[in-house]
Amino acid sequence: MYFSKYNIFSKIKDSDSSYLINILTGNADIIDSAKAEEITAGNYSDVDEYIIKGYLADELEEKKLYNEKYLDFIESRDTDELQIFFVPWYSCNFDCGYCYQSGYENKSEIPTKEIIDSFFQYVTTEFKDRKKYITIFGGEPLLSAGKYKDLIIYFLEKAEYFNLDIAIVSNGYFLTEYIDILKTKRIREIQITLDGVGEIHNKRRPLRGGNPTFLKIVDGIDQALANNITINLRVVIDKENVNGLVELARFAIDRGWTKSDYIKTQFGRNYELHYCQTGHSKLMTRLEFYETIYSLVNKHPEILEFHKPAFSISKYLFENGELPSPLFDACSGTKTEWAFDYTGNIFACTATVGKPGSSLGTFYPEVTLQKDKIIEWEERDVTVIDECKNCNLQLACGGGCAAVAFNRAGKLHAPDCRPVKELIGMGLSLYFNEEN
Ligand code: SF4
Ligand code: SF4
Protein backbone atom coordinates (compact mmCIF):
# COMPACT_ATOMS: atom_id res chain seq x y z
CA MET A 1 0.00 0.00 0.00
CA TYR A 2 1.30 3.42 -0.82
CA PHE A 3 0.05 6.98 -0.41
CA SER A 4 -1.76 7.29 -3.72
CA LYS A 5 -0.02 9.37 -6.37
CA TYR A 6 -3.40 10.92 -7.14
CA ASN A 7 -3.91 12.29 -3.62
CA ILE A 8 -4.06 16.05 -3.38
CA PHE A 9 -3.21 17.04 0.17
CA SER A 10 -2.82 20.62 1.24
CA LYS A 11 -3.92 23.38 3.60
CA ILE A 12 -7.29 25.07 3.47
CA LYS A 13 -6.58 28.76 3.17
CA ASP A 14 -6.95 30.81 6.35
CA SER A 15 -7.74 27.70 8.37
CA ASP A 16 -5.91 25.23 10.62
CA SER A 17 -7.41 22.37 8.67
CA SER A 18 -6.18 20.66 5.54
CA TYR A 19 -7.89 18.65 2.84
CA LEU A 20 -7.21 15.28 1.30
CA ILE A 21 -8.78 14.60 -2.07
CA ASN A 22 -8.50 11.69 -4.44
CA ILE A 23 -10.36 12.36 -7.67
CA LEU A 24 -9.67 8.88 -9.03
CA THR A 25 -11.69 7.26 -6.24
CA GLY A 26 -14.00 10.24 -5.75
CA ASN A 27 -13.18 10.92 -2.11
CA ALA A 28 -12.62 14.17 -0.26
CA ASP A 29 -12.02 14.84 3.43
CA ILE A 30 -11.30 17.78 5.66
CA ILE A 31 -8.35 16.82 7.84
CA ASP A 32 -7.66 18.38 11.25
CA SER A 33 -4.15 19.49 12.11
CA ALA A 34 -3.29 16.38 14.17
CA LYS A 35 -4.27 14.02 11.33
CA ALA A 36 -2.50 16.26 8.83
CA GLU A 37 0.70 15.83 10.83
CA GLU A 38 0.23 12.06 10.69
CA ILE A 39 -0.13 12.19 6.93
CA THR A 40 2.96 14.35 6.56
CA ALA A 41 4.89 11.88 8.73
CA GLY A 42 3.46 8.86 6.88
CA ASN A 43 1.99 7.36 10.10
CA TYR A 44 -1.67 6.80 9.58
CA SER A 45 -4.01 5.91 12.45
CA ASP A 46 -6.96 5.56 10.03
CA VAL A 47 -5.39 2.97 7.75
CA ASP A 48 -8.63 1.03 7.09
CA GLU A 49 -10.56 4.15 6.19
CA TYR A 50 -7.73 5.43 3.97
CA ILE A 51 -7.60 2.10 2.13
CA ILE A 52 -11.36 2.13 1.52
CA LYS A 53 -11.15 5.66 0.20
CA GLY A 54 -8.13 4.94 -1.98
CA TYR A 55 -5.84 7.38 -0.16
CA LEU A 56 -3.71 4.34 0.55
CA ALA A 57 -3.66 2.18 -2.52
CA ASP A 58 -2.28 -0.89 -4.13
CA GLU A 59 -0.43 0.33 -7.21
CA LEU A 60 -1.66 -2.39 -9.56
CA GLU A 61 -5.29 -2.09 -8.46
CA GLU A 62 -5.03 1.65 -8.79
CA LYS A 63 -3.65 1.38 -12.31
CA LYS A 64 -6.64 -0.81 -13.24
CA LEU A 65 -9.05 1.78 -11.87
CA TYR A 66 -7.16 4.54 -13.70
CA ASN A 67 -7.49 2.69 -17.00
CA GLU A 68 -11.20 2.07 -16.43
CA LYS A 69 -11.86 5.72 -15.63
CA TYR A 70 -9.81 6.78 -18.64
CA LEU A 71 -11.95 4.67 -20.95
CA ASP A 72 -15.11 6.09 -19.32
CA PHE A 73 -13.76 9.59 -19.92
CA ILE A 74 -13.03 8.97 -23.60
CA GLU A 75 -16.38 7.28 -24.14
CA SER A 76 -18.35 10.04 -22.51
CA ARG A 77 -16.40 12.74 -24.34
CA ASP A 78 -17.13 11.07 -27.66
CA THR A 79 -20.83 11.53 -27.04
CA ASP A 80 -20.56 15.08 -25.64
CA GLU A 81 -22.06 17.90 -27.62
CA LEU A 82 -19.70 19.59 -30.10
CA GLN A 83 -19.25 23.34 -29.99
CA ILE A 84 -18.46 24.55 -33.49
CA PHE A 85 -17.24 28.12 -33.88
CA PHE A 86 -17.63 30.10 -37.06
CA VAL A 87 -15.88 33.41 -37.67
CA PRO A 88 -17.72 35.31 -40.41
CA TRP A 89 -15.12 38.10 -40.38
CA TYR A 90 -12.40 39.51 -38.17
CA SER A 91 -13.67 43.10 -38.49
CA CYS A 92 -14.65 44.78 -35.27
CA ASN A 93 -16.02 48.17 -34.22
CA PHE A 94 -14.20 48.09 -30.86
CA ASP A 95 -10.63 48.85 -29.95
CA CYS A 96 -9.97 46.77 -26.84
CA GLY A 97 -6.39 47.05 -25.64
CA TYR A 98 -6.15 43.34 -24.89
CA CYS A 99 -7.63 41.94 -28.12
CA TYR A 100 -5.73 38.76 -28.99
CA GLN A 101 -6.66 39.19 -32.64
CA SER A 102 -5.02 42.60 -32.88
CA GLY A 103 -2.04 41.10 -34.70
CA TYR A 104 -4.15 39.29 -37.32
CA GLU A 105 -4.46 40.56 -40.86
CA ASN A 106 -7.16 40.55 -43.59
CA LYS A 107 -9.62 42.38 -41.44
CA SER A 108 -12.06 43.83 -43.93
CA GLU A 109 -13.14 40.75 -45.89
CA ILE A 110 -16.52 39.07 -45.60
CA PRO A 111 -17.67 35.64 -46.74
CA THR A 112 -19.84 34.83 -49.74
CA LYS A 113 -23.04 32.86 -49.22
CA GLU A 114 -21.26 30.01 -50.99
CA ILE A 115 -18.68 29.86 -48.18
CA ILE A 116 -21.44 29.79 -45.57
CA ASP A 117 -23.16 27.01 -47.52
CA SER A 118 -19.88 25.04 -47.63
CA PHE A 119 -19.47 25.45 -43.88
CA PHE A 120 -22.92 23.98 -43.20
CA GLN A 121 -22.32 21.24 -45.75
CA TYR A 122 -19.08 20.30 -43.97
CA VAL A 123 -20.38 20.28 -40.40
CA THR A 124 -23.61 18.47 -41.22
CA THR A 125 -21.77 15.69 -43.03
CA GLU A 126 -18.50 15.46 -41.07
CA PHE A 127 -20.28 15.63 -37.69
CA LYS A 128 -23.50 14.04 -38.88
CA ASP A 129 -23.99 11.81 -35.87
CA ARG A 130 -22.77 14.20 -33.17
CA LYS A 131 -24.89 16.49 -31.03
CA LYS A 132 -23.69 19.96 -31.89
CA TYR A 133 -24.36 23.67 -31.86
CA ILE A 134 -22.71 26.61 -33.53
CA THR A 135 -21.17 29.68 -31.97
CA ILE A 136 -20.71 32.73 -34.16
CA PHE A 137 -17.53 34.48 -33.14
CA GLY A 138 -15.43 37.34 -34.50
CA GLY A 139 -14.13 40.01 -34.81
CA GLU A 140 -17.58 41.30 -33.98
CA PRO A 141 -20.38 39.32 -35.59
CA LEU A 142 -23.20 41.74 -34.79
CA LEU A 143 -22.16 44.74 -36.88
CA SER A 144 -24.79 47.22 -38.04
CA ALA A 145 -24.04 47.75 -41.74
CA GLY A 146 -26.46 45.97 -44.07
CA LYS A 147 -23.86 43.74 -45.73
CA TYR A 148 -22.99 42.23 -42.34
CA LYS A 149 -26.54 41.99 -41.08
CA ASP A 150 -27.74 40.25 -44.26
CA LEU A 151 -25.06 37.57 -43.88
CA ILE A 152 -25.85 37.00 -40.21
CA ILE A 153 -29.54 36.60 -41.08
CA TYR A 154 -28.58 34.19 -43.87
CA PHE A 155 -26.41 32.24 -41.42
CA LEU A 156 -29.17 32.07 -38.79
CA GLU A 157 -31.65 30.83 -41.40
CA LYS A 158 -29.28 28.10 -42.52
CA ALA A 159 -28.81 27.01 -38.90
CA GLU A 160 -32.58 26.90 -38.47
CA TYR A 161 -32.89 24.78 -41.61
CA PHE A 162 -30.43 22.24 -40.13
CA ASN A 163 -32.04 22.39 -36.64
CA LEU A 164 -28.89 23.74 -35.06
CA ASP A 165 -28.85 26.06 -32.07
CA ILE A 166 -26.77 29.20 -32.30
CA ALA A 167 -24.71 30.98 -29.67
CA ILE A 168 -23.11 34.34 -30.41
CA VAL A 169 -20.01 35.95 -28.91
CA SER A 170 -20.52 39.69 -29.27
CA ASN A 171 -19.28 42.92 -27.80
CA GLY A 172 -22.97 43.79 -27.41
CA TYR A 173 -22.84 47.23 -28.96
CA PHE A 174 -25.46 46.58 -31.66
CA LEU A 175 -27.44 44.02 -29.68
CA THR A 176 -30.44 46.37 -29.54
CA GLU A 177 -30.43 46.60 -33.34
CA TYR A 178 -30.46 42.80 -33.62
CA ILE A 179 -33.02 41.92 -30.93
CA ASP A 180 -36.01 41.71 -33.26
CA ILE A 181 -34.18 39.21 -35.44
CA LEU A 182 -32.60 37.22 -32.62
CA LYS A 183 -35.83 36.73 -30.67
CA THR A 184 -37.30 34.77 -33.59
CA LYS A 185 -34.28 32.44 -33.98
CA ARG A 186 -32.80 29.42 -32.16
CA ILE A 187 -30.45 31.43 -29.97
CA ARG A 188 -28.96 29.42 -27.13
CA GLU A 189 -27.05 32.34 -25.61
CA ILE A 190 -25.22 35.53 -26.38
CA GLN A 191 -21.91 36.13 -24.66
CA ILE A 192 -21.37 39.79 -23.90
CA THR A 193 -18.40 41.34 -22.12
CA LEU A 194 -18.64 44.11 -19.55
CA ASP A 195 -15.35 44.97 -17.88
CA GLY A 196 -16.82 47.12 -15.13
CA VAL A 197 -19.32 49.91 -14.65
CA GLY A 198 -19.17 53.08 -16.75
CA GLU A 199 -15.71 54.57 -17.11
CA ILE A 200 -13.79 51.41 -16.21
CA HIS A 201 -15.50 49.53 -19.01
CA ASN A 202 -15.37 52.44 -21.47
CA LYS A 203 -11.64 52.85 -21.02
CA ARG A 204 -10.96 49.19 -21.75
CA ARG A 205 -13.59 48.52 -24.41
CA PRO A 206 -14.16 51.74 -26.40
CA LEU A 207 -15.37 52.05 -29.95
CA ARG A 208 -12.69 52.54 -32.56
CA GLY A 209 -12.20 56.30 -32.24
CA GLY A 210 -12.64 56.17 -28.48
CA ASN A 211 -16.36 56.71 -27.87
CA PRO A 212 -17.96 54.99 -24.86
CA THR A 213 -19.93 51.75 -25.14
CA PHE A 214 -21.17 50.87 -21.64
CA LEU A 215 -24.69 52.33 -21.64
CA LYS A 216 -25.60 50.99 -25.05
CA ILE A 217 -24.45 47.47 -24.10
CA VAL A 218 -26.42 47.61 -20.85
CA ASP A 219 -29.51 48.57 -22.84
CA GLY A 220 -28.92 45.58 -25.13
CA ILE A 221 -28.60 43.21 -22.17
CA ASP A 222 -31.83 44.56 -20.63
CA GLN A 223 -33.67 44.05 -23.90
CA ALA A 224 -32.28 40.56 -24.43
CA LEU A 225 -33.31 39.45 -20.93
CA ALA A 226 -36.77 41.00 -21.39
CA ASN A 227 -37.11 38.88 -24.53
CA ASN A 228 -35.97 35.69 -22.78
CA ILE A 229 -32.68 35.54 -24.65
CA THR A 230 -29.93 34.12 -22.44
CA ILE A 231 -26.98 36.41 -21.82
CA ASN A 232 -23.67 34.94 -20.76
CA LEU A 233 -22.06 37.95 -19.15
CA ARG A 234 -18.28 37.82 -19.17
CA VAL A 235 -15.84 40.07 -17.35
CA VAL A 236 -12.26 40.12 -18.61
CA ILE A 237 -10.17 40.82 -15.56
CA ASP A 238 -6.69 42.12 -14.89
CA LYS A 239 -5.08 44.38 -12.31
CA GLU A 240 -6.62 47.46 -13.91
CA ASN A 241 -10.27 46.52 -13.32
CA VAL A 242 -10.29 43.76 -10.71
CA ASN A 243 -11.39 46.04 -7.88
CA GLY A 244 -14.26 47.26 -10.05
CA LEU A 245 -15.85 43.83 -9.69
CA VAL A 246 -17.51 44.98 -6.48
CA GLU A 247 -19.28 47.82 -8.26
CA LEU A 248 -20.16 45.61 -11.24
CA ALA A 249 -21.64 42.95 -8.96
CA ARG A 250 -23.78 45.58 -7.22
CA PHE A 251 -24.83 47.05 -10.55
CA ALA A 252 -25.94 43.62 -11.83
CA ILE A 253 -27.78 42.87 -8.57
CA ASP A 254 -29.53 46.28 -8.49
CA ARG A 255 -30.59 45.92 -12.11
CA GLY A 256 -32.20 42.58 -11.37
CA TRP A 257 -29.88 40.69 -13.71
CA THR A 258 -28.71 38.21 -11.10
CA LYS A 259 -32.31 37.15 -10.42
CA SER A 260 -33.07 36.54 -14.10
CA ASP A 261 -33.39 32.96 -15.36
CA TYR A 262 -31.70 34.17 -18.52
CA ILE A 263 -28.35 35.29 -17.15
CA LYS A 264 -25.13 33.38 -16.75
CA THR A 265 -21.83 34.93 -15.70
CA GLN A 266 -18.15 34.17 -16.10
CA PHE A 267 -14.86 35.71 -15.06
CA GLY A 268 -12.11 35.57 -17.68
CA ARG A 269 -8.55 36.24 -16.68
CA ASN A 270 -6.83 38.54 -19.14
CA TYR A 271 -3.74 36.71 -20.32
CA GLU A 272 -1.32 36.89 -23.16
CA LEU A 273 -2.08 34.38 -25.86
CA HIS A 274 -0.25 35.01 -29.14
CA TYR A 275 0.76 38.66 -29.23
CA CYS A 276 2.39 40.93 -26.71
CA GLN A 277 -0.07 43.20 -25.02
CA THR A 278 0.72 46.82 -24.61
CA GLY A 279 -0.34 46.75 -20.96
CA HIS A 280 1.63 43.64 -20.03
CA SER A 281 2.12 44.82 -16.44
CA LYS A 282 -1.64 44.68 -15.85
CA LEU A 283 -1.73 40.94 -16.28
CA MET A 284 -1.99 38.52 -13.36
CA THR A 285 -0.85 34.93 -13.19
CA ARG A 286 -3.63 32.43 -12.63
CA LEU A 287 -2.63 32.19 -8.97
CA GLU A 288 -2.51 35.97 -8.49
CA PHE A 289 -5.87 36.22 -10.20
CA TYR A 290 -7.58 33.75 -7.89
CA GLU A 291 -5.83 35.10 -4.79
CA THR A 292 -7.10 38.57 -5.64
CA ILE A 293 -10.64 37.31 -6.26
CA TYR A 294 -10.46 35.32 -3.02
CA SER A 295 -9.58 38.31 -0.91
CA LEU A 296 -12.10 40.56 -2.68
CA VAL A 297 -14.88 38.03 -2.10
CA ASN A 298 -13.93 37.76 1.56
CA LYS A 299 -14.44 41.50 1.89
CA HIS A 300 -17.41 41.73 -0.49
CA PRO A 301 -19.32 38.44 -0.48
CA GLU A 302 -21.98 39.95 -2.76
CA ILE A 303 -19.57 39.23 -5.62
CA LEU A 304 -20.61 35.59 -5.24
CA GLU A 305 -24.20 36.59 -5.93
CA PHE A 306 -22.96 37.83 -9.30
CA HIS A 307 -20.58 34.97 -10.02
CA LYS A 308 -19.14 31.97 -8.19
CA PRO A 309 -15.67 31.19 -9.57
CA ALA A 310 -14.80 27.50 -9.89
CA PHE A 311 -11.61 27.46 -7.77
CA SER A 312 -10.68 24.19 -9.51
CA ILE A 313 -13.05 21.46 -8.28
CA SER A 314 -14.23 23.34 -5.14
CA LYS A 315 -17.38 24.91 -6.50
CA TYR A 316 -18.42 21.62 -8.12
CA LEU A 317 -17.90 19.79 -4.84
CA PHE A 318 -19.87 22.42 -2.93
CA GLU A 319 -22.80 22.48 -5.35
CA ASN A 320 -23.02 18.76 -6.07
CA GLY A 321 -21.85 17.19 -2.81
CA GLU A 322 -19.45 15.00 -4.78
CA LEU A 323 -16.28 15.35 -6.79
CA PRO A 324 -16.37 15.72 -10.57
CA SER A 325 -15.21 12.78 -12.68
CA PRO A 326 -11.46 12.63 -13.34
CA LEU A 327 -10.39 15.18 -15.94
CA PHE A 328 -7.88 13.45 -18.19
CA ASP A 329 -7.95 16.33 -20.62
CA ALA A 330 -8.90 19.95 -20.03
CA CYS A 331 -8.56 20.97 -23.66
CA SER A 332 -11.57 20.60 -25.91
CA GLY A 333 -9.77 21.50 -29.19
CA THR A 334 -10.59 18.92 -31.96
CA LYS A 335 -12.44 16.78 -29.43
CA THR A 336 -15.55 18.71 -28.49
CA GLU A 337 -14.60 21.98 -30.13
CA TRP A 338 -13.67 23.08 -33.66
CA ALA A 339 -13.37 26.52 -35.22
CA PHE A 340 -13.91 27.61 -38.81
CA ASP A 341 -13.42 30.97 -40.45
CA TYR A 342 -14.66 32.74 -43.56
CA THR A 343 -11.39 32.07 -45.39
CA GLY A 344 -12.36 28.39 -45.57
CA ASN A 345 -9.86 27.26 -42.93
CA ILE A 346 -10.44 24.82 -40.09
CA PHE A 347 -8.82 25.25 -36.67
CA ALA A 348 -8.78 23.36 -33.37
CA CYS A 349 -10.48 26.03 -31.28
CA THR A 350 -11.08 29.71 -30.63
CA ALA A 351 -7.56 30.22 -29.31
CA THR A 352 -6.02 29.25 -32.63
CA VAL A 353 -8.70 30.37 -35.10
CA GLY A 354 -7.21 32.71 -37.69
CA LYS A 355 -3.71 32.38 -36.32
CA PRO A 356 -1.21 32.01 -39.16
CA GLY A 357 0.20 28.49 -39.25
CA SER A 358 -2.55 27.00 -37.10
CA SER A 359 -4.92 25.78 -39.80
CA LEU A 360 -5.69 22.06 -39.64
CA GLY A 361 -7.34 21.97 -43.05
CA THR A 362 -9.97 23.62 -45.22
CA PHE A 363 -13.69 23.25 -45.85
CA TYR A 364 -13.63 25.66 -48.82
CA PRO A 365 -12.97 25.75 -51.75
CA GLU A 366 -12.31 22.08 -51.16
CA VAL A 367 -12.12 19.82 -48.15
CA THR A 368 -8.55 19.07 -47.09
CA LEU A 369 -7.42 17.84 -43.69
CA GLN A 370 -3.94 17.79 -42.18
CA LYS A 371 -4.40 14.45 -40.50
CA ASP A 372 -1.02 14.37 -38.68
CA LYS A 373 -1.66 17.68 -37.01
CA ILE A 374 -5.21 16.70 -36.09
CA ILE A 375 -4.05 13.43 -34.55
CA GLU A 376 -1.51 15.31 -32.45
CA TRP A 377 -4.31 17.51 -31.10
CA GLU A 378 -6.63 14.55 -30.55
CA GLU A 379 -4.01 12.58 -28.66
CA ARG A 380 -3.10 15.34 -26.24
CA ASP A 381 -4.13 14.50 -22.68
CA VAL A 382 -2.45 13.82 -19.33
CA THR A 383 -1.51 10.29 -20.39
CA VAL A 384 0.82 11.53 -23.16
CA ILE A 385 2.35 14.68 -21.65
CA ASP A 386 5.49 13.55 -19.83
CA GLU A 387 5.24 16.12 -17.05
CA CYS A 388 1.61 15.20 -16.36
CA LYS A 389 2.02 11.44 -16.18
CA ASN A 390 3.31 11.49 -12.63
CA CYS A 391 1.73 14.70 -11.46
CA ASN A 392 -0.66 14.22 -8.53
CA LEU A 393 -2.81 17.11 -9.79
CA GLN A 394 -3.43 15.61 -13.21
CA LEU A 395 -7.05 14.54 -12.72
CA ALA A 396 -8.10 18.00 -11.57
CA CYS A 397 -5.87 19.94 -13.97
CA GLY A 398 -6.22 17.94 -17.16
CA GLY A 399 -2.97 19.31 -18.61
CA GLY A 400 -4.34 22.81 -19.21
CA CYS A 401 -4.65 24.59 -22.53
CA ALA A 402 -2.88 23.18 -25.59
CA ALA A 403 -2.56 26.58 -27.28
CA VAL A 404 -0.91 28.11 -24.22
CA ALA A 405 1.37 25.09 -23.86
CA PHE A 406 2.35 25.34 -27.53
CA ASN A 407 3.13 29.05 -27.28
CA ARG A 408 5.30 28.42 -24.26
CA ALA A 409 7.03 25.16 -25.14
CA GLY A 410 6.82 25.09 -28.96
CA LYS A 411 4.95 21.77 -28.89
CA LEU A 412 1.40 20.69 -28.19
CA HIS A 413 2.24 17.78 -25.93
CA ALA A 414 3.50 20.05 -23.19
CA PRO A 415 1.90 21.03 -19.88
CA ASP A 416 0.03 24.23 -19.06
CA CYS A 417 0.09 23.87 -15.29
CA ARG A 418 -2.71 25.04 -13.01
CA PRO A 419 -2.12 25.90 -9.36
CA VAL A 420 -4.70 23.29 -8.40
CA LYS A 421 -3.59 22.80 -4.79
CA GLU A 422 -3.82 26.48 -3.96
CA LEU A 423 -7.09 26.95 -5.83
CA ILE A 424 -8.76 24.13 -3.95
CA GLY A 425 -7.42 25.52 -0.66
CA MET A 426 -9.05 28.88 -1.42
CA GLY A 427 -12.27 27.43 -2.83
CA LEU A 428 -12.90 25.13 0.13
CA SER A 429 -12.30 28.05 2.46
CA LEU A 430 -14.79 30.24 0.59
CA TYR A 431 -17.54 27.79 -0.21
CA PHE A 432 -17.49 25.63 2.88
CA ASN A 433 -17.36 28.56 5.23
CA GLU A 434 -20.92 28.87 6.50
CA GLU A 435 -20.76 32.63 6.83
CA ASN A 436 -20.56 32.99 3.04
S1 SF4 B 1 -6.23 25.03 -26.87
FE2 SF4 B 1 -6.82 26.15 -25.01
S3 SF4 B 1 -8.45 27.51 -25.68
FE4 SF4 B 1 -8.23 25.91 -27.25
S5 SF4 B 1 -9.70 24.33 -26.66
FE6 SF4 B 1 -7.75 23.79 -25.78
S7 SF4 B 1 -7.91 24.67 -23.70
FE8 SF4 B 1 -9.45 25.67 -24.93
S1 SF4 C 1 -0.21 20.53 -16.66
FE2 SF4 C 1 1.18 20.68 -14.91
S3 SF4 C 1 -0.16 20.71 -13.07
FE4 SF4 C 1 -1.37 20.02 -14.82
S5 SF4 C 1 -1.27 17.80 -14.73
FE6 SF4 C 1 0.34 18.45 -16.11
S7 SF4 C 1 2.16 18.67 -14.84
FE8 SF4 C 1 0.40 18.59 -13.46
* Residue 416 Cβ contacting ligand 2 at under 6 Å: yes
Query: Which of 24-38, 270-284, 333-347, 404-418 is predicted with the least confidence, judged by mean pLDDT?
Result: 270-284
The ligand minimizing its distance to the Cα of 388 is 2
Ligand 1 centroid – CA 386 distance (Å): 19
* Residue 337 Cβ contacting ligand 1 at under 6 Å: yes
Return the best residue to mutate from 272, 337, 407 for the ligand 1 pocket (most ligand atoms within 8 A of CB): 337
Average pLDDT on 303-309 reads 97
Q: What is the pLDDT of residues 56-74, one digit of tens each?
A: 999 999 999 999 999 999 9
Ligand 1 centroid – CA 310 distance (Å): 17
Say how far apart CA 7 and CA 13 lie, in whole Å.
18
* Residue 399 Cβ contacting ligand 2 at under 6 Å: yes
Confidence (pLDDT) at 99? 78
CATH of domain 82-309: 3.20.20.70
Average pLDDT on 273-298 reads 84
Ligand 1 centroid – CA 268 distance (Å): 14
Q: What is the pLDDT of residues 269-281, one digit of tens each?
A: 998 665 555 567 8
436: pLDDT strictly greater than 60: no
Q: CATH 3.20.20.70 occupies which residues in the chain?
A: 82-309
Q: What is the pLDDT of residues 195-238, one digit of tens each?
A: 999 999 999 999 999 999 999 999 999 999 999 999 999 999 99
Report which protein residue has its CA nearest ligand 1's atom 6. Answer: 331
Q: What is the pLDDT of residues 2-19, one digit of tens each?
A: 999 999 999 999 999 999
Confidence (pLDDT) at 236? 95
Ligand 2 centroid – CA 15 distance (Å): 26
Ligand 2 centroid – CA 345 distance (Å): 31
Say how far apart CA 198 and CA 27 lie, in whole Å.
45
* Residue 62 Cβ contacting ligand 1 at under 6 Å: no
108: pLDDT strictly greater than 90: no
137: pLDDT strictly greater than 90: yes
* Residue 412 Cβ contacting ligand 1 at under 6 Å: no
Q: What is the pLDDT of residues 246-267, one digit of tens each?
A: 999 999 999 999 999 999 999 9
Ligand 2 centroid – CA 85 distance (Å): 27
